[in-house]
Amino acid sequence: MEKGLSFLQNIQEMFPGKAVDVRTYSPLTLAYIGDAVYDLIIRTVVVGKANRPANDLHRITVKYVSATAQAKIVDCLMEEFTEEELSVYRRGKNAKPHTMAKNASPAEYLHATGFEAVLGYLYLTEQTDRALELVRLGMQKAGLSL
């Protein structure tokens, strides 16, 4: 592991794979990694607020990582997206997922999938500052505070 490399670069160095143009990934692949990125952001914030039992941390986190919460966040972010982010969002929202969320409407789930696709795209293109900015801004605009 080399100092000065990003988290993503360190992962890629320690676990080499084939180089792929991120723009060729399917929107559901971007959403898959974006879901993990969003989850890591929220979990990091929740843990940073207080050292609590894992059950309490999970209970708090679930309120923010639900498809309903993500749909609310992305609806508040639409005017903030760049053209590129908006294109990724639309691809993600219009993808045909093989599953649906248990506790969200199909529309909320598709909006959340689009949001996760944007976060996955930003992570894989090493624009993590932008991903963090969008999550923070979206939560503020949606009235969701941690």
Contacting residues for 135 by C-beta, under 8 A, at least 6 apart: 38, 41, 42, 73, 119
Burial-class residue 84 by CB neighbours within 10 Å (0-12, 13-18, 19+). Answer: middle
Looking at residue 126, the DSSP 8-state letter turns out to be T
Catalytic residue (one of 35, 39, 56, 75):
35
Residue 25 to residue 22: CA distance in whole angstroms: 5
Place of tokens 């971007």: 30
56 is catalytic: no
Structure tokens, 26: 């399917």
Alpha carbon 86 to its chain centroid, in Å, reads 14
Are the C-beta atoms of residues 73 and 135 closer than 8 Å to each other? yes
Catalytic sites, residue numbers? 35
